[in-house]
Amino acid sequence: MLRDLPLSGVVVVELSDSASAPFSGKILAELGAEVWKVERPSGDSARGWGPSTWKGSGAAFHALNRGKRCISIDIKDREQLATLHRLIAERADVFIHNLRPGSSAKYGLDPDSLRVTKPELICCEVGAFGHEGPMNTLPGYDPLMQAFSGIMSITGEEGQPPVRAGVSIVDFGTGMWAVIGILAALHRRQTKHCGATVNGSLLETAIAWMSVGIANYSADGEPGGRHGSGVAFIVPHRAYPTADGDLIVSCANDVLFARLCEVLERPEWAKDDRFATNAGRLKNRREIDRLIGERLAQESRAYWQQRLQAHGIPVAPIQTTAEIVAHEQTRALGIIGKPSEDEIGLVGLPLSFDGKRPPPLHAARDIGADNDKIEDVLKARP
Omega before residue 41 within 30° of 0, cis: no
**Other C-beta atoms lying within 10 Å of the C-beta of residue 24:** 32
The DSSP secondary structure of 308-365, one letter per residue, reads HHHTT--EEE---HHHHHH-HHHHHHT-EE-SSTTSPPEE--S--BTTBPPPPPPPPP
Q: Given 171, 220, 342, 354, which residue is catalytic?
A: 171
The DSSP secondary structure of 243-268, one letter per residue, reads SSSEEEEE--SHHHHHHHHHHTT-GG
Return the closest-CA partner of residue 176 out of 293, 16, 349: 349
Residue count of the chain: 382
Residue 190, H or E segment = helix 169-192
Crossing angle (nearest 10°) for helices 20-30 and 169-192: 50
The edge-to-edge listing of strands for the beta sheet with 237-241 is: 237-241, 246-250, 315-317
Whether 354 is catalytic: no
Which amino acid is present at 77? D
> Could you list the active site residues?
171
